[in-house]
Structure 1
Amino acid sequence: MTTLADAVRTLIGAELAATDAELARRYPGDPGTRQPVHTVYVPADAFSAGTVRAWGDQALAALDTHAPDAAALAAVLELPAGLAAEVYDRVRAKLRREPVEDLRIDFEDGYGPRPDAEEDAAALAAARTVTATVADGTAPPRIGIRMKCMEAAVRDRGIRTLDLFLTALLDGGGLPAGLTLTLPKVTFPAQVTAMVRLCEEFERAAGLPAGRIGFEIQIETTQAILGPDGLGTVPRLIDAAAGRATGLHYGTFDYSAACGIGAAYQSLDHPAADHAKAVMQVAAAGTGVRLSDGSTNVLPVGPTDRVHDAWRLHYGLVRRSLARAYYQGWDMHPAQLPTRYAATYAFYREGLDAAAARLAGYLARAGGEVMDEPATARALSGYLVRGLDCGAVDPAEVTERTGLTRQELDALARPTGR
């Protein structure tokens, strides 16, 4: 027997209906698609149909020269011998098969100001190359451009480049499924609203479905974290995107410089960077907007000892980001790919047995030393899904340890209800 009448529950449900709808709109959860582990940054004038393969070949050459076998890589990165052998073989296979997961053709800082005719030609050439590489299967899973920002001095140029690029893609057969656009140096929500307006107008003029074009927001200015009114800006940027924001990318060097940090101390692990990224993480949680860490400008070039130093730094930064749930970052040079994948694969392989055992125990209600809750089960399954997506672990390994198919694992990692 209960005390409350059914009418009370009906009343409460009616009063919270609008809140339920708002919760579903603002916090839809993860989109359930593969997230790349990195974004490779290539100036527009350096991009060609051979760029992805060239990056893979240069990365393999760096391994051949500076870490020709698993033992050599283990010595550089202080990996256990057994783990190093597994990681090394997978890294080499990845560099041969799919060296780049996400590529951004840069028309902003990496490209700089050019005569209009030159940038027009570069935008058209980029689109035609993207169309050709998508058609022949040599394009990475995600590819697109970083346009110039919405500040007055470069706004018109950025809009024109975006228009040329998208129009040429349509002329070549359509927008690719993995199209990704990046809006840099955002300071105010109105600039995101303007980007939404551009997308809407282009879709309308081109006869595309509403919402077809999304974009990433780069967090490179202090105003993108804290507004002049003292309130957090990131949630307002996500809201201004009206469902089109796909990611938030931290800009290491622009943000550091804006904070007055000296060039020698600008890094992904600076306290100012940690603060900005923590704000981004909380603001994006549950929204379906994904996070990407920035880059390091210490490149693995030169003599072997210098390459090893740069590799150790990059490896450590990638591992640090992964532990903090920043599952993506920016790579600036082909020789950073070995440590990007080595760090990512080591992260998932060394935790495979423990994560699978905990998840299997949760599903069997087996108890043990740790009593996990549904949220932790989602995190455990999400960890395994990410390892599968990037190639760190194989489906058979996960199924053997958990008894779950990929479809069942996805359902646990990305539940449709709360």
Structure 2
Amino acid sequence: MPQPAGTTLADAYVAGIGASLAATDAELARRYPGDPGTRQPVHTVYVPADAFTAGTAREWGDRALAALDEHAPDAAALASVLGLPGALAAEVHDRVRDKLRREPVEDLRIDFEDGYGARPDAEEDAAAVAAAHTVTALTAEGGAPPWIGIRMKCMEAAVRDRGIRTLDLFLTALLDGGGLPDGLALTLPKVTFPAQVAAMAALCGQFEQAAGLPDGRIGFEIQIETTQAILGPDGAATVPRLIDAAAGRATSLHYGTFDYSAACGVSAAHQAPDHPAADHAKAVMQVAAAGTGVRLCDGSTNVLPVGPAQAVHDAWRLHYGLVRRSLARAYYQGWDMHPAQLPTRYAAVYAFCREGLDTASARLAGYVARTAGAVLDEPATARALSGYLLRGLDCGAVDPAEVAERTGLTRAELDALAGR
């Protein structure tokens, strides 16, 4: 019989360490719960409130398809414009076309802020209620994008009351129409101090209490558009404080390319998602959000694919490259400002997901089987590999049968490996 292994430390001492770290364990669980385990949209489309109708998403899809038909009608044309390998271009082109027919917009934000501007109160009141009625009707018909909501005006003194009233009218009208949609998304723009986020969190809590909703039902996105949202007056990073001030209600951080760039003094011609000022801000956002369950959304380019074919192709190459750059940096969502950007949004996402499908699947299958190979993967890498495959499944870049054939894993098994 083998002898039991000997130890020196007493059980009581080890138990005491556990007791001394109990509060730390609880704080880690509270602050860093990990990924929420749900689908994340690949983009957000902003539409001014006065331009939003029940047909907006379908209109964007139709205009995107028209742009694709005119400027890249087949896989060879798409390959030529974007520099894709022929076989990959064929897979991507077919899937992009299907996506634009089936679900052209994944996340739609009805804009009551910069895209809407200052209007008479009665006009904005009516627009807020009308937007809610349209969202309710779309949801009932099954025609709403998976995520939909509003961007209100910010918490600065000049527009605070107007923003709160618009939010209240919108949410109240949704409740009167049958309830909040599952994919409700609310955006708080131009945040400068944690107190503004805390006020938004308190406002959401008060609305829930008054409306009889479950605690925590209403979350919101924090838009990072000011330098103060990145670096505070004391020189400390502000983003962790913003997340903390949201008291568990922050769902994502959205980078605002143009406002943030202007705040840094970047001239208009150089305001872009790949400017060094943007990279610094997004790196701070990424580290602050890691492990918190708060997701990241990149900004946009204002170089639109409109005009003659050469101008469209140039804008498509720029947009495609920026989206691919963001994906490589783990920014899996970004803004789109024009329907003709949807073909390159989905082309970039689908190419990113498909070109690594075989390698990621083989590595994950090897990890599960504990197969020795040239790469020794750890649990953290397995989470990343399964997360990569799940993102492809969620947006339509890959099919469940393709992943199952290559990995031998079910969706539930992939979710478990990804920590969902």
The counterpart of 2:162, out of the listed 146, 151, 157, is: 157
1:257 to 2:285 alignment: no
**Could you state the TM-score of these two structures normalised by the residue count of structure 1?**
0.99
1:113 to 2:121 alignment: no
Q: How does 1:283-294 map to 2 (within 5 A)?
A: 283-294=288-299
Range moving further from structure 2, 359-368 or 6-15: 359-368
1:218 matched to which residue of 2? 223
2:31 matched to which residue of 1? 26
Counterparts of 1:141 and 1:30, CA distance in 2: 19
1:54 matched to which residue of 2? 59
Counterparts of 2:72 and 2:88, CA distance in 1: 15
Question: Helix, strand or coil for the counterpart of 2:280?
Answer: helix
| Alpha-carbon offset, residue 97 of structure 1 | 0.3
Tell me which amino acid in the other structure corresponds to 1:43.
P
RMSD: 0.6
Deviations 1:82-120 (A, max 9, x none): 000000000000000000000000000000000101100
The counterpart of 1:322, out of the listed 318, 323, 327, is: 327
| Alpha-carbon offset, residue 233 of structure 1 | 0.2
| Alpha-carbon offset, residue 365 of structure 1 | 1.6
Counterparts of 1:268 and 1:359, CA distance in 2: 32
1:331 matched to which residue of 2? 336
Which ranges of structure 1 fall in alignment gaps of 5 or more residues? none
Tell me which amino acid in the other structure corresponds to 2:394.
D
Tell me which amino acid in the other structure corresponds to 1:387.
G
1:282 matched to which residue of 2? 287
1:191 to 2:196 alignment: yes
Counterparts of 2:202 and 2:27, CA distance in 1: 22
Counterparts of 1:95 and 1:414, CA distance in 2: 31
| Alpha-carbon offset, residue 258 of structure 1 | 0.1
The counterpart of 1:409, out of the listed 411, 414, 417, is: 414
Deviations 1:339-368 (A, max 9, x none): 000000000000000001111111112121
Tell me which amino acid in the other structure corresponds to 1:309.
D
2:374 matched to which residue of 1? 369
Counterparts of 2:20 and 2:67, CA distance in 1: 62
Deviations 1:308-334 (A, max 9, x none): 000000000000000000000000100
Tell me which amino acid in the other structure corresponds to 1:61.
A
Q: How does 1:117-196 map to 2 (within 5 A)?
A: 117-196=122-201
Question: Helix, strand or coil for the counterpart of 2:185?
Answer: coil
Deviations 1:371-415 (A, max 9, x none): 111111111111001111011000111111111000000000116
Counterparts of 2:209 and 2:365, CA distance in 1: 49
The counterpart of 1:16, out of the listed 1, 7, 21, is: 21
Identical aligned residues as a percent: 86
Counterparts of 2:396 and 2:201, CA distance in 1: 34
2:3 matched to which residue of 1? none
**Could you state the TM-score of these two structures normalised by the residue count of structure 2?**
0.98
Q: Which 4+ runs in 1 deviate beyond 2 A?
A: none
Question: Helix, strand or coil for the counterpart of 2:254?
Answer: strand
Counterparts of 1:92 and 1:414, CA distance in 2: 32
| Alpha-carbon offset, residue 255 of structure 1 | 0.2
1:378 to 2:383 alignment: yes
| Alpha-carbon offset, residue 157 of structure 1 | 0.4
